[in-house]
Structure 1
């Protein structure tokens, strides 16, 4: 254990900050925040455990890394049955009252929003949960409700109507007011910062100092996306695009997103011949640990922003292929195309690839 980690252990239960995370990437970015924050040494991490096995597995590995760094990690089975949410809120309430700063990884999470209704006057930090961070900042600046970018507009269902008061209170907590600021810790490019929001750059310093440098393999690797699972991109179009990219760039491995459907991954392997890799840690750590291809291919996603930072100085090229309009499902949000184009357009230190043709326009079978 390092001296810095030992100092964190000696801080004991006198936590000056509490972080709520629901995904492995959120926990990674909490560790990055703690590396540069003045209150990061006295941090308690609460894992609001999801139900899907891949996310749980990666979170357990990340929790081990956090404990190795000297942080207190509390694993909360927040979704373990009908009574779990109320039990979780009751158990966490004393910890919330004692802390001075609350760190959250997903301001759109209904669970996090519920917890935020229990506190007021606390300092708040939002760490990266991927490209959704950009949408969060924009919605706060415009005074809009907190809605994920891929959700289709229209009338709200019964669940949304019941939770509307919770979301409204959480939004007020996440909106700077008077002398109270909201910190956003992000690797995303934020061009217009709303008044009262303080942006701290996430440079992946902890990742680079803890892992690597990696061994660089010949050829290319491909990064998967859950755009099919979230109802944005048509599955047939996606499979064809992966096949075309793999053939054009000699890709041999496909790093699956933790939310990708097993049946979809089986189909990708059968039709493309790619080796499907299901990482046990966030891709930024997997890539930094290596081996990793000399080129990493991706569709618009968080990694086109984070991988160039995690792999800085290694010579690995990150290349991104835009989503063609015809790949989108009819039920996709009207905002999807513009949002995804913005993800690619604002990425730094990446190589832009031409869009893959759709099957209707003559793509190889």
Structure 2
């Protein structure tokens, strides 16, 4: 596999970590096209300092058409992305590997199997995004039929999905963040209890008042709080009123912040992809990941 054939196209810090894991697993240096955001820039710098096998890093806005056209194998961070659907329909890459975009990995596997519509979960799609979806799906299935499409994931898709995906020609490879653990420096001193920030209030799926109550309960007797990358200033201001809570701003995915833990942590989180990723990242440390409950919002009717 020539290194010039592969391009990682990522839109979030977790997708970038997945690209680093893919490069390590395949022992190849890869160029990266990363969406131009402060979080991705900070994550890329940190991964490079840890020895990630990244070649050229190209920030972009929109679709990096010229980069995509020069590489026939795409490592795609977000298969639900409307930009991916459009670019794939036009440029028709020769091989596609889907990286994790949080817990959407399971929903995307079901999409590949035709068990659910080609649409991002809980989003009402419209316009060009929906028009190009059938063309992108047709391309992906053509590549799968030729054994040139698959997933590189930390998520357990289940035996039924794995068998069905194999029957459709998709190659699935699991990873457990082994490179992330192996390359991590010692974590900063955070104390025993860690509370992970959530974007549920930002997304309108939890009232801010309920969220602060959950943080207060999770942070009993003191804790360090790691904000979510999409938290607003209003949410952080509200969280900062919780007694005994110390906010630790790193600008990095929690997987990178906590990978170097040398002792057991009590990590508290609301339902998110971290309930899958952190037990893998913290394997062997004696850490415990506690998943709290998002109270049902009377205003939105969503958990």
Give the structure 2 partner of residue 32 of structure 1: 21
Query: Cα distance, 1:165 vs. partner?
Result: 2.3
Q: Kindly indicate whether residue 181 of structure 2 is the aligned counterpart of residue 208 of structure 1.
A: yes
CA contact (8 A) 2:147 2:170 kept: no
CA contact (8 A) 1:297 1:319 kept: yes
CA contact (8 A) 2:191 2:223 kept: no
TM-score normalized with structure 2 length: 0.86
Structure 1 residues 218 and 19: CA distance shift in structure 2, 3 A: closer
Alignment of 1:128-143 (within 5 A): 128-143=100-115
Q: Kindly indicate whether residue 276 of structure 2 is the aligned counterpart of residue 312 of structure 1.
A: no
CA contact (8 A) 1:222 1:255 kept: yes
Query: What are the ranges of 5 or more consecutive residues in structure 2 without an aligned counterpart?
Result: none
Query: What are the ranges of 5 or more consecutive residues in structure 1 without an aligned counterpart?
Result: 1-7, 80-84, 338-365
Give the structure 2 partner of residue 103 of structure 1: 75
CA distance in 2, matches of 1:292, 1:277: 18
CA contact (8 A) 1:217 1:293 kept: no
CA distance in 1, matches of 2:291, 2:79: 27
Q: Kindly indicate whether residue 197 of structure 2 is the aligned counterpart of residue 243 of structure 1.
A: no
CA distance in 2, matches of 1:114, 1:62: 31
Structure 1 residues 168 and 58: CA distance shift in structure 2, 3 A: farther
CA distance in 2, matches of 1:216, 1:56: 24
Q: 2:150 aligned to 183, 186, 190, which one?
A: 183
Alignment of 1:153-232 (within 5 A): 153=124, 156=125, 160-175=126-141, 177-191=144-158, 192-193=161-162, 194=165, 195-212=168-185, 214=187, 218-232=191-205
Deviations 1:275-319 (A, max 9, x none): 222223221111123477721111111111111111111112211
Give the structure 1 partner of residue 28 of structure 2: 41
Q: 1:72 aligned to 55, 65, 72, which one?
A: 55
CA contact (8 A) 1:304 1:318 kept: yes
Q: RMSD in angstroms over aligned alpha carbons?
A: 2.7
SS, match of residue 73 in structure 1: strand
Deviations 1:218-253 (A, max 9, x none): 531101111111222222211111112222xx3421
Between stretches 228-237 and 302-311, larger displacement belongs to 228-237
Give the structure 2 partner of residue 268 of structure 1: 239
Give the structure 1 partner of residue 300 of structure 2: 330
CA contact (8 A) 1:58 1:282 kept: no
Structure 1 residues 181 and 92: CA distance shift in structure 2, 3 A: closer
Structure 1 residues 328 and 232: CA distance shift in structure 2, 3 A: farther
